[in-house]
Amino acid sequence: MGKTIYQEKTRILSKQKLASNFFLLKIASKKIAANSAPGQFVQIRVQDSVVPLLRRPLGVHRIEKNNFEVLFQVVGKATEMLAQKNSGDYLDVIGPLGNGFNLQKRGEIILVAGGMGVAPLVFLAEKLKKSVDPKSKIQKIALIGAKTKTQILCETEFKKSGFEVRVSTDDGSKGAKGYVSDLLKQVLRTTHFALRPNIFACGPRPMLKEIAKLSKEFGIPAQVSLEEHMACGIGACLGCAVETSKGFKRVCKDGPVFQAEEVIW
């Protein structure tokens, strides 16, 4: 039985500028909020005109009752248009789309976010907070990486979900200097885990490739959410296909979350 996908005219409840070129939208949709899982995304039509022609895929960032949030960075004309929207404006949204993270495996938890990879992982952290027994003393670590300190987002949100947060920046302006994958390697080498940890990661492809290598090196399972250009969002156009050990898979339909070991990097 397939998952139900909704197309709705949704109303923006609030807009918040978090940092330079980073915005948070809270959007009203009881159906999308009630049916979204961590790792899934929505396709947003930015304008009713033909420009931009394609919808923009954005990961579901948080769920709050009958509302959902999306976190995005202005990187082009479409996201610039989206950033100009205000409370009370309406957006044509399709979702929830794709397959999210598999939360059935139990063990220690490591979240690894590179740049905008924090967006879906906050939703995952809040979901794990509800599902993991606080008395179990399972370690929950969130690693956040960005180019510089002004682009480090969502520290507070991860901490509220009970995660120990560690940060790295490319320029060393906050936390450890270097890539977040280097920080993950250090954690795996120096941390004693009572149970085998599970890695959940989202970020740029080079980062995820390094995490896949570390997953194999340390024998730790990793789920990665791929960031690919998506046109249709429903698997029809085949524009986001990636090679895996099981053949070519569509990131929007079969993913965006895959087992790291499956992806041919």
Structure tokens at 141: 């670590």
Query: pTM of the full predicted structure?
Result: 0.94
Of the residues 45, 75, 97, the one at which a domain ends: 97
* pLDDT bracket for residue 51 (50, 70, 90): low
Query: Would 121 be classed as within a structural domain?
Result: yes
Asked whether residue 102 is domain-assigned, the answer is no
- The CATH number for 22's domain is 2.40.30.10
Q: How far is 76 from 56, CA to CA, in rounded Å? A: 11
Q: Check which CATH number belongs to the domain holding 246 and give it.
A: 3.40.50.80
pLDDT of 207 strictly over 70: yes
| Structural domain boundaries enclosing 92 | 6-97
CB atoms within 10 A of CB 263: 19
Same-domain check for residues 126 and 253: yes
Give the integer Cα–Cα distance in Å for 102 and 91. Answer: 29
Give the rounded distance of the alpha carbon of 231 from its chain centre: 18
- Residue 86 shares a structural domain with residue 208: no
Q: Tell me whether residue 119 is in a domain.
A: yes
Does residue 48 lie in a domain region? Answer: yes
Q: Which two tokens stand for residue 251?
A: 């990131």
Based on the fold, state whether residues 182 and 239 are members of the same structural domain.
yes
Q: Which of 58, 77, 97 is the last residue of a domain?
A: 97
Are residue 115 and residue 44 in the same domain, yes or no?
A: no
What's the count of helices (H) and strands (E) in the chain, helices before strands?
A: 6, 15
What are the C-alpha distances in Å from 7 to residues 82, 152, 265?
A: 18, 32, 34
pLDDT in tens, 9-26: 999 999 999 988 999 999
Task: Please provide residue 6's backbone torsions phi and psi, each rounded to the nearest 5 degrees.
Answer: -115, 145
In-domain check, residue 63: yes
Domain ends where: 97, 123, 143?
A: 97
- Phi and psi at residue 117, in whole multiples of 5°? -65, -15
Does residue 123 share a domain with residue 91? Answer: no
Number of domains in the chain: 2
Give the list of residues 6+ apart from residue 108 with CB closer than 8 angstroms, or none.
138, 139, 140, 141, 193, 194, 195, 196, 197, 198
Whether residues 93 and 125 share a domain: the answer is no
pLDDT in tens, 137-172: 889 999 999 999 999 999 999 999 999 999 999 999
Which of the two residues, 2 and 245, has the higher pLDDT score? 245
Q: What is the mean pLDDT of the chain?
A: 93
Cβ neighbours around 264 below 10 Å, total: 9
Is 14 a member of any domain? yes
